[in-house]
Structure 1
């Protein structure tokens, strides 16, 4: 069972438009409304793959009620933590060439009592989980070290942790020694404080994060594939994608595939790549089902293309 924790969930609205023209009235050709937030997306992808999951989410106001309703329609079990504030609403505008413009709201400010209630909910459910995926930005009111506290508590219950966050929260959380972290190329660069030009640069950055406390690093490099760096080896995975509709939630789908496949070794990396490639072919933040996957298109190798330039 994969338990997910999303401290700052969202109600995600995605509009497909012929072109994004600043200052003009745009006519959408498609629209989706989805429950959002990285951990929520991981739960949605895990459920779509036919595995057990439980999503712990702080919810408040009408947007929070709609998030809960949408998750219920998808038959995803939820452990809600009630907030006095309102769950945030995010907007994404998708163009036909795959360009995505996102507007993410900051979200509510959690009180100390709400923060502790969130940690208590994790403590209640973590003993039943194989993995606890701690995902997304921290809302106002939670210090960067909050994830480190969460990881430490989860380990105290005997469960493994996967962390997907960015900014100051990522290096702060490494003190808790998460079992795996899942940064993208930009987050890797930010964490080590320098630009990354090649896959080799990304590999070196992943090694540094492992030295700082991460057990393993699953690095999403977008069109340039994915890296898995762990104590048992280093692997590179890639799958061609001819048409990109939306990359919203693609990294979350990758993490879900990785954890559902055991969260370890080349087989789990192959599942991560297959799920990520399937997700970008779908509209909005729709999560792939087994029918959307093409495992035969995935290549996983120990021969890492160190000189391959990372896409801008």
Structure 2
């Protein structure tokens, strides 16, 4: 079973205006969408659609927390969240004629007792793999993530910012940086695929058993103990890249739960992402061809190690 932990989930509020924003003007629209957001939550949704046994966890509180729980229930996603006194955050994205504006709340204050309860929740679920995804709310530190890593007999995956990856101290199963996160985690310039390979290998040497690097239009890399694998992105119509990196991690973890090889796990990650970018937001697209492997993705060996 996969347990996804989203320490700082949100209700994602997206509104669209067919005009540029102006100071002092009241803009009105009927185009508004509310969704349950957060990396771990996205991974849970996509992995569940890939027939993985998955439960979503993290911290939730207040009316927005209830919205997230209710939305996951409606989507048939199992959940086991820690209830906190503070309110889950609301993040707003404004899409206007003159550009995109993101307004993100830092998140609720987390107490030490909340972290203790999260650790106990993870232990009670006894997952095979535990994923920590996204930013940390005020009051939660990287030492708490390391504590989760050491709290049970599970493999732990992380999908966090590069500045976080640089500071984690436990042994981790897999991390999933993108190009900018590879650069932030290693201090390297990451422009070419060769740059990405070098940076990913450095992270592997620091204690990540697998480094799954998502490179957008350039596909993805997987660094293992034995080799470096690459898979190209598919030539598909891109509607929205939100959730693409989460989809790569979802495909990888679901494949490993199904007992597939490293190459097939990378293949499933890339294929899942290619389907996710074809829909707006983090809605779950039809992933049937991912499960049946009807669409071929060529995985190449970049180098042996």
Q: Give the TM-score taking structure 2 as reference length.
A: 0.89
Shift of 1:26: 5.9
Shift of 1:197: 1.5
Shift of 1:211: 1.1
Shift of 1:12: 1.2
Whether 1:171 and 2:155 are equivalent positions in the alignment is no
Shift of 1:30: 4.6
Aligned residue in 2 for 1:208: 202
Deviations 1:270-305 (A, max 9, x none): 00001111111111111233247585253321147x
Aligned residue in 1 for 2:93: 92
SS state at 1:257 partner? helix
Deviations 1:91-115 (A, max 9, x none): 234589xx86533221101011111
Aligned residue in 2 for 1:262: 256
1:22/1:135 CA distance change after superposition, 3 Å: farther
Aligned residue in 1 for 2:76: 75
Whether 1:272 and 2:259 are equivalent positions in the alignment is no
Compute the RMSD of aligned alpha carbons. Answer: 2.4
Shift of 1:223: 1.2
Aligned residues: 296
Aligned ranges for residues 13-24 of structure 1 at < 5 Å? 13-18=13-18, 21=21, 23=23
Q: Give the TM-score taking structure 1 as reference length.
A: 0.87
SS state at 1:243 partner? coil
Aligned residue in 2 for 1:296: 295
1:300/1:66 CA distance change after superposition, 3 Å: same
Whether 1:180 and 2:165 are equivalent positions in the alignment is no
Structure 1 gaps of 5+ residues are: 305-312
CA–CA separation in structure 2 for the residues paired with 1:6 and 1:161 = 13
Whether 1:162 and 2:161 are equivalent positions in the alignment is no
Structure 2 gaps of 5+ residues are: none
CA–CA separation in structure 2 for the residues paired with 1:216 and 1:12 = 30
> Which piece of structure 1 moves more, 28-37 or 243-252?
28-37
Whether 1:247 and 2:231 are equivalent positions in the alignment is no
> Which piece of structure 1 moves more, 104-113 or 18-27?
18-27
Shift of 1:37: 0.7
CA–CA separation in structure 2 for the residues paired with 1:245 and 1:134 = 27
SS state at 1:287 partner? coil
SS state at 1:282 partner? coil
Shift of 1:169: 2.4
Aligned residue in 1 for 2:129: 131
CA–CA separation in structure 2 for the residues paired with 1:101 and 1:146 = 32
Aligned residue in 2 for 1:8: 8
Q: Is the 8 A contact 1:179 1:215 kept in 2?
A: yes
CA–CA separation in structure 2 for the residues paired with 1:285 and 1:225 = 19
CA–CA separation in structure 1 for the residues paired with 2:184 and 2:111 = 28
CA–CA separation in structure 2 for the residues paired with 1:181 and 1:302 = 20
Aligned residue in 2 for 1:66: 67
